[in-house]
Amino acid sequence: MSFWTGKKVVVTGGAGFLGSHVVEELKEKNCKSVFIPRSKDYDLTDERNIKAMYENAEPDIVIHLAAAVGGIGANERYPGTFFYKNAIMGIQLMEMARQYGIKKFVTIGTTCSYPKDASIPFKEEDLWKGYPAEVTAPYGLAKKMLFVQSQAYEKEFGFNSINLIPVNLYGPRDNFNPDTSHVIPALVKRFVDAEREGTKEVVCWGTGEASREFIYVKDCAEAIILAAERYNSSEPVNIGTGKEIKIKELVRIIAALTGYKGSIAWDTSKPDGQPRRCVDTSKARERFGFVAGTEFEEGLGNTIKWYKDSIGG
Ligand SMILES: NC(=O)c1ccc[n+]([C@@H]2O[C@H](COP(=O)([O-])OP(=O)(O)OC[C@H]3O[C@@H](n4cnc5c(N)ncnc54)[C@H](OP(=O)(O)O)[C@@H]3O)[C@@H](O)[C@H]2O)c1
């Protein structure tokens, strides 16, 4: 018997990029049911739909991944939407989960919640030491409010919720729509397309001097499953690899892996976002034994292959 045997699980956002990989892992786990509310049937910004979902699925555990998300461009265009939808969905889902007596609630945060100039590597205890990078602050702060809710509900009601903070994700089934994509799928699309079309120059956003940390989506899904099984505290935990990479270096690797031979230019009128991002991963290792296993270039290779297959080989 595993932790999951006989359990009824709701995965909000379970049809999305990360959600689809979490659901794939859960399918191996002997759960009694895994329910995925689609937004067209259950718009989770509306409390009535949350109640209907909990009454229909009667979950023992909720993994809350549904969100309005996107890269820097999308954060610049939709700060109000990202703030409102992420705050209202999460707050109502957790409150209703408490009222319905749900045993465990998992929230997925973001490194956009960290202060803009937090020291590297980001430690969980530094989360409240300053204001986040302006461009992603509405998204990051909306999600951070769930940590406050989680801690307050643990204290007042003994409610069991856990809060995980993954770094940027990448991998198969990512969002490659240039209007809303994150940096890796945006670059993969640009360089694969440029290589095919024989484009002589690819223009990238910002200065290339900012750094980021990336985790392969399947590793993140594994971390979520492990944490749900083994971790029971509202103290947030980083999920990452601990490896920082400059955007310039990332671009060089993706250009090489896609076989692109042209030149690379930088549009410095576009924002870099937070100057540096890299997390301390020791808490995830100590509290629930998670260590990310996928090598970066292997994960990138899988992502490029998936994108090429999706556009016809
Ligand atoms: N991608 C990253 O790099 C990254 C990094 C750190 C944390 N995260 C977090 O990880 C989670 C998953 O992100 P993702 O990249 O997998 O996003 P995604 O592919 O866009 O998936 C999000 C899902 O949320 C659902 N959703 C959105 N609005 C909804 C609403 N009003 N009602 C019900 N469902 C709604 C959508 O369901 P439908 O398909 O049914 O519309 C969608 O499938 C998010 O919480 C995000 O903040 C992501």
User: Which residue lies with its CA nearest to atom 29 of ligand 1?
Assistant: 39
User: Which residue lies with its CA nearest to atom 7 of ligand 1?
Assistant: 110
- The answer to whether the beta carbons of residues 57 and 12 sit under 8 Å apart is no
Residue 1 has a CB neighbour count (10 Å cut-off) of: 6
Of 20, 25, 39, the one to substitute when testing ligand 1's pocket (max ligand atoms within 8 A of C-beta) is 39
213 closest CA partner among 82, 122, 96? 122
> Ligand 1: does its nearest atom lie under 6 Å from the Cβ of 133?
no
> Ligand 1: does its nearest atom lie under 6 Å from the Cβ of 182?
yes
Query: Per the structure block, which two tokens stand in for 169?
Result: 């994700």
Which are the catalytic amino acids? 139
> Ligand 1: does its nearest atom lie under 6 Å from the Cβ of 71?
no
Q: Is the pTM of this model over 0.75?
A: yes
Give the distance (Å) from ligand 1 centre to CA of residue 75.
Answer: 14
DSSP tag of 122 = B
pLDDT tens for 127-151 read 999 999 999 999 999 999 999 999 9
User: Which residue lies with its CA nearest to atom 5 of ligand 1?
Assistant: 168
pLDDT tens for 26-73 read 999 999 999 999 999 999 999 999 999 999 999 999 999 999 999 888
CATH class label, 8-170+214-242+278-294: alpha beta
E strand or H helix that includes residue 12? strand 8-12
Give the distance (Å) from ligand 1 centre to CA of residue 68.
Answer: 6
pLDDT higher than 90, residue 281: yes
